[in-house]
Chain A
């Protein structure tokens, strides 16, 4: 499992993808930070985290798009599946390496926090809490991205579908707000990622929201495992 993790993580940096993702993330995070904290003079980074939500939607598909689709296209999948390694370990290793890549992006907040500490006293508990919230939100999106990637041979298709899915699931409550049907609004509010995430970024970390994101992660990792197992029977 550690062998797959290392190869996978290394592959982000043997192609432009890893650098591009990192650069894009840091760029937007830096801009929002500049506008909110330096230009408008706020000492709280809460707004930065809320605005970064949409960047996460778009960056994570880039991190996960190649995980399974590329293995299938290059036929390297055959080496993985005929090695003495179970499918759950393969899925787990790929999940962890994507998460590690995303964690690297999250380092930008620490840099910004340090920058802020030269001017004012930043609230580190808010920053740490937000980074944690973003990591847990990210792991749900990563699990979804892995699942989409396992369904196709094309990285581009995987990226686009994941992106659309991420956006849909995040703004679901906004869309359903226009419909006056209580059941639907109830459901969409229950699964809306953005609502839960915004609670996090305000410092309201509730156990039920954490459980929600962790469950979503495990459900999609499990589905990914099923897809790969099932394909052998196709």
Chain B
């Protein structure tokens, strides 16, 4: 039997397929989000990699920002619960999840049983989200994936004082014009985003094990920066971007079994 989880974010789509024994058969992610053919593409890719067809899927759960408009799922569950589920499965003993996605950031607290018992989301602006890093990468004229390596070369701490992404953008442009090194700006951007999200984490209360998920967790420099901010070691969930999709697939199996 096969169970599909689809996580439709604002800037990327992810899918995961598991079998009835919770074995993970595939996890895929693409950087195209809701309102596009992104969800269909990731689902097709996932099916292809497992070598099955759509009608062999026993139950589908959709999650993420685009879950409500996605009509092909049997059920929709929020990304909060799905991230909780996915992390509890991948990292036993996890109590705090820091998830930084494209358009939002959230901190989720898990109880000893691995169930969500509290969560906080950032308010609606782009500060403290992946979008902030995207904007920074664009100004620094590098790919998002190169930001981490660049930041590691930083020799001098600089501070980006504006919270607002739009203002921060012009602040950084003037810093670069004054000759600040690109590496220092990249590290400054990491500091900026992690300090916002660390604030959220402190509000909810941090209990180890702390796990990071979401695409931004692939940026090693951000993770190290976050560790410094919160004063705890951080485990990056394996394949962090698809943890929500995996959680959705696990819920699909659970819901199917309950029926």
Do the two chains belong together in a single complex?
no
Binding site for B on A (CB under 8 A): none
